[in-house]
Amino acid sequence: MMIGGVRVALPCSCSCSCSGSPSKNRRYGTSRRSILKKSLSQEQVNFTSPLSEEPLVGVIGGGISGVLCALFLEKRGIRSTLFDTGIHGPGGRLGTRVVHPDPLKFDHAAQFFTVSDSRFAEIVNAWMEKGLVRRWQGTVGELHSGGRFLPSPHPPKFVATNGMRFLPHSLLSQTRMVNVVRPCWISKLEPFNGMWHLSENGKPRGVFDAIVIAHNGKCANRLLMASGLPLIARQMKRLDLSSIWALLAAFEDPLPFPGITEVPFEGAFVRGVDSLSWMANNTKKLLISQTGGPHCWTFLSTAAYGKQNKVPQENIPSSTAAKVKAGMLEGVESALGLSKGSLPKPFYTRLQLWGAALPTNTPGVPCIFDPSGRAGICGDWLLGSNIEAAVLSGIALANHIADYFQSPGADPGEFAVGLYHEFQPLEGHDIGQFPGLGTEKKMSEGQAYELAN
């Protein structure tokens, strides 16, 4: 959709990363306070009947945490159905936009990842062997306002070979026991006769022994509001999320840099500019064999700028879209130290608001599981704010559910986890945590893997 001359993406009305239909969500008409009240006053469901002979898990959310959860359930011999709203593919905040016919290619949320944990390192090695990810060899560093660039060669940085979205897509194409249903926006969870009945706007979507909530934000709060899972709903409600604007821009020529013909980096954390926290040349990052133009750049705002200019992401006023686009391009100019008005004009732009971009607090527990309701949560926010945290969380929940399924006769109470953990603020960059690249603390391996084994 064009707003004020800016191409604007309208992913969802619920300010999360889902692409559910705005009209569907609006039917709820619920305020934050009423969601909280309803969530907490609902009665706890208590499943006591035996599990099916071949239990089936419903995974709601096909971001990287939901995908890893489904894959690790399969490793333990458990079937699942994974539901995702993505129209172009699963992946959630691992988003890649391809614009034909050129093609222009942009990662429009997650940009790259680092590895701080030995078990994640093993997974990344396996992905590298399959050619799904590779080392990002381009120069990345910090760009201080005025055009002062400091490279950060360590730690190693990784990208998905064809763009972030294609990583979950490729992983799911190799499964035998995961049924992917997409695009599908699960709008209701109903416990009945010891099973979970899932539906999409009245259309039945299956019956499951256990469910995994692999998404967050308002969408998850609404889904959990009347589900019979008050403890899970309460933890979800405690999560706070930032907002980030993404401006995708394609230029005919390389971006200029004072004193040299071309910017001396492929990606940079921007310092000292209100509107900008990150910029990356996605053509160089993703289309490495391409020489010459066009040059596709992803610019991401600071969380503070996202907050200042927060609007409903499904209904961005044209004046806000124009102001944000101008503000971010001015930010690029001043970050690069260019004189006012000298930044070349992009021939393509697209603006998107990630209304529920990154978690700003965490319970610091790999996953949450309610054995009475046979329901769990996974996602980045349980451990941090990056791809690594999301992967670890998905794996932890899969292993936990498998242990629960495979321990008949055990006291279900022993499997309760994370239902009462207090939340702590999260440190990191505005676009997530990159251990070794900033001030954030390394995730404790003990904490991350308490449940993974």
Footprint of ligand FAD (CB under 6 A): 16-19, 60-66, 83-86, 92-94, 109-113, 184-186, 214-215, 219, 223, 244, 246, 300, 354, 357-358, 379-380, 385-387, 390, 431-432
From the CB of 379, what's the least distance to ligand FAD, in Å? 4
186 vs 368, beta carbon nearer ligand FAD: 186
294 vs 432, beta carbon nearer ligand FAD: 432
From the CB of 63, what's the least distance to ligand FAD, in Å? 2
**What secondary structure does DSSP assign to 173-190, as a single string?**
HT-SSEEEE-S----EEE
55 vs 168, beta carbon nearer ligand FAD: 168
Cα–Cα dist 314/319, whole Å: 15
3-state secondary structure of 284: helix
66 vs 346, beta carbon nearer ligand FAD: 66
62 vs 331, beta carbon nearer ligand FAD: 62
214 vs 270, beta carbon nearer ligand FAD: 214
Burial 123-135 (b: 16+ CB within 10 A, else e): bbeebeeeebbee
As given in the structure block, the two tokens for residue 218 are: 């308002």
From the CB of 429, what's the least distance to ligand FAD, in Å? 8
Determine the longest span between alpha carbons in the chain, in angstroms.
72
Q: Which residue is nearest to ligand FAD (CB)?
A: 63
**What secondary structure does DSSP assign to 366-399, as a single string?**
S-EEETTTTEEE-SGGGT-SSHHHHHHHHHHHHH
69: closest CA among 394, 301, 298?
A: 394
65 vs 275, beta carbon nearer ligand FAD: 65
Cα–Cα dist 316/8, whole Å: 8
333 vs 380, beta carbon nearer ligand FAD: 380
As given in the structure block, the two tokens for residue 352 are: 């998107």
From the CB of 48, what's the least distance to ligand FAD, in Å? 27
Residue type, 188: K
- Cβ atoms of residues 294 and 104 within 8 Å: yes
Phi, psi of 450 (to 5 degrees): -40, -45
Residues 6+ apart with CB under 8 A from 380: 65, 358, 359, 386, 387, 389, 390, 393
From the CB of 220, what's the least distance to ligand FAD, in Å? 7
Q: How far apart are the first and last CA of the chain?
A: 47
From the CB of 258, what's the least distance to ligand FAD, in Å? 27
From the CB of 323, what's the least distance to ligand FAD, in Å? 19
21 vs 145, beta carbon nearer ligand FAD: 21
Q: What is the 3-state secondary structure (H, E, C) of 402-442?
A: HHHHCCCCCCHHHHCECCCCCCEECCCECCECCCCCCCCCC
Phi, psi of 235 (to 5 degrees): -65, -40
